[in-house]
Amino acid sequence: MEYQSVRYEVDGRIAVITLNRPQRMNAIDGRMPREIADAVKRANADNDVHVIIVTGAGAGFCAGYDLIEFAEQPGVRPGSQHGSGAPPVDAPGRPLLPWDPMADFYGMYQNTQDFMSLWRSYKPTIAKVNGPAVAGGSDIALCCDIIVMADEARIGYPPARVWGCPTTAMWLYRLGAEKAKRMLLTGDLIYGPEAARLGLCLESVPRAQLDGRVQEIADRMAGVPRNQLMMQKLMINQAFENMGLHSTQMIATLFDGITRHSPEGLWFKRRAEEVGFKQAVQERDSGEPIAAGWSRPFGGA
């Protein structure tokens, strides 16, 4: 695969996958999930590679899905597959059809599996979070085995407030129920030191020390035989599979599609089209009631 949205490099026993759209804070486009999965496959097939580092180009790790591509564009093509590479709007003159939840699931679940290639990689993966890891960007980081953050970096899933559900569901498996609810029922962003205190990342260090600390951990792992790394990782991951990781991700991915087509989700999409995604996000995250007047009472009252 010829990469356009990531960069792949190998230095000795360490492969580095760099999310490479710095002009958009490495926001996820239709190509990035497939390219991540392909790069992981490439590293797994390379007998010289023992460890994989994932980071972002420039000042950010990943700002989530590119909302210029997926939110500001007028209209939503039914079953647009939300990031699968399908165009987000209908062709001129083509009637807008009803939303197809299974077509949506088909594309978004593929993205989920592409991100999870980092978790299921036979070789350990380390997220070097050098800047914001937001929304879908937090999914990518949380799929890695180990996360090291810069103190100045922030992580969170603001679309939990409206227009999103984290499809990988890794918040639960990393934090436990109460702390996962604290993050996903608020949509808050937190800095590296708080993420470390909650147990969301292994460590938080000053930005100037981040490269050196991640290199130190990666070098320590790189001295271990590949088969030993693989066995330890498979043993730990199997415990999560036994806890229902697959079925939880299936439900989370279905819910993600629903959030984008709920009354409030449609409000957010309309606001993004009208005033741009930055203003829509500011309104969503302000703390004021979201989409007042758009909610439909439960029970048909």
Positions in the chain short of pLDDT 50: 77-92
In terms of Cβ atoms closer than 10 Å to its own Cβ (0-12, 13-18, 19+), residue 242 is exposed
Count of the separate structural domains present in the chain: 1
Task: Convert the pLDDT of each residue in 57-106 to its tens digit.
Answer: 999 999 999 988 877 677 654 344 443 333 344 444 555 678 899 999 99
Residue 18 has phi, psi (to 5 degrees) of -110, 120
Amino acid identity at 74 = P
Segments in 48-186 forming alpha helices (H)? 67-70, 101-120, 136-142, 170-175, 177-184
The set of residues, in sequence order, having a beta carbon less than 8 Å from that of 184 and lying 6+ positions away, is 157, 160, 166, 171
d(CA 110, CA 34): 9
Cβ–Cβ contacts within 10 Å for residue 106, how many?
Answer: 14
* Residue count of the chain: 301
Please indicate, yes or no, if residue 1 is contained in any of the structural domains.
no
What integer pLDDT is reported at residue 294 of this predicted model? 84
Which residues in 39-170 belong to E strands, given as ranges? 51-56, 125-129, 133-134, 146-150, 154-156
The CATH code of the domain that includes 277 is 3.90.226.10
The pTM score is: 0.92
What phi, psi does 209 have (nearest 5°)?
-100, -5
User: Over the stretch 186-218, which tens digit does the pLDDT of each residue have?
Assistant: 999 999 999 999 999 999 999 999 999 999 999
